[in-house]
Amino acid sequence: MRTDIVTGLRFPEGNRWRQGRLWFADMHTGEVLSINPDAETEPRLETTLPGQASGLGWLPDGRLIVSSMAERAIRVVESDGSNSVWADLSDAEPSHLNDMISDEATGRTYVGAFGYDLYGGEALRPGPLHVVEPDGSSRLAADGLVFPNSANILPGTRTLVIGETWGGVLTAFDIERDGSLTGRRTWATLPEGVTPDGSTVDAEGAIWVCSVDTGEFLRVLEGGEITDRIAFEGRCAIDCALGGADGRTLYLSTADSYDPAVTATTRAGTITAVRVAVPRA
């Protein structure tokens, strides 16, 4: 059974479950919202960025941080909803920032970048993954990733797994004590045509991957075995998060296009809830 939780969005991205609420960004509006799906019918506006918004995370002090894509910065959100630049990567990174993950164990954040001008039609080039310290300073963590996107830290490990959207693979690294990444390896090669976008990890260490081009959500094991598929024919599968009271509700973000010119008029982005067997990590 599928239940639509939020409708009328443009491009819902950055799904996260935290403290009983589903948090997400509407990328093409710059809005960051949250909702308690069990008690609310409309999301609450948390803040609005001056440009496109992507990944979400939280600092050790509990403040929300958001990837501000074209600004090439990470913004921090205060309790009153105002936001300001917390980490400025514009000198080090010429391309749009993408999704990110905050490491709760260390307070560090890993954020990817396109590597090229996707919207301007520039030829594809590999992109980097940056690590940002709790004080907002940053450095290169890895390079040569084919459109680095959503990442997860596997439960009970210090292994980071990131999707390479146009590469069709999930790539793993070991997280060292200083935040650097070593031991790069292929965690899973995905089926032909699958383009990994957002993702979430469950308690068994499997990763739910959104394939933006094929409109499906895949549960992937290390090595590449697919155990489950949820298809949204004719849609872009954008992001997902496990949550709910028992952690077994998978919140799926879809839209009719990833072109901002299209979503500005259609506003067909939706977040849908589906029950699954294995809970969140």
Write down the domain spans for the chain.
2-275
Binned at pLDDT 50, 70 and 90, residue 40 comes out as very high
Q: In this structure, is the dihedral angle defined by the CA atoms of residues 205, 216, 46 and 52, taken in order, positive or negative?
A: positive
> Is the Cα torsion angle 222, 171, 129, 196 positive or negative in sign?
negative
The CATH code of domain 2-275 reads 2.120.10.30
Model pLDDT for residues 111-128, shown as the tens digit of each residue: 999 999 888 888 989 999
108, burial (CB in 10 Å: exposed 0-12, middle 13-18, buried 19+): buried
pLDDT tens sequence across 193-204 = 999 999 999 999
Give pLDDT, residue 141. Answer: 98
Q: What is the pTM (predicted TM-score) of this model?
A: 0.97
Q: Which helix (H) or strand (E) holds 263?
A: helix 260-266
What whole-number distance in Å separates Cα of residue 258 and Cα of residue 268? 11
Percent of the chain at pLDDT exceeding 90: 97
The overall average pLDDT reported for the chain is 97
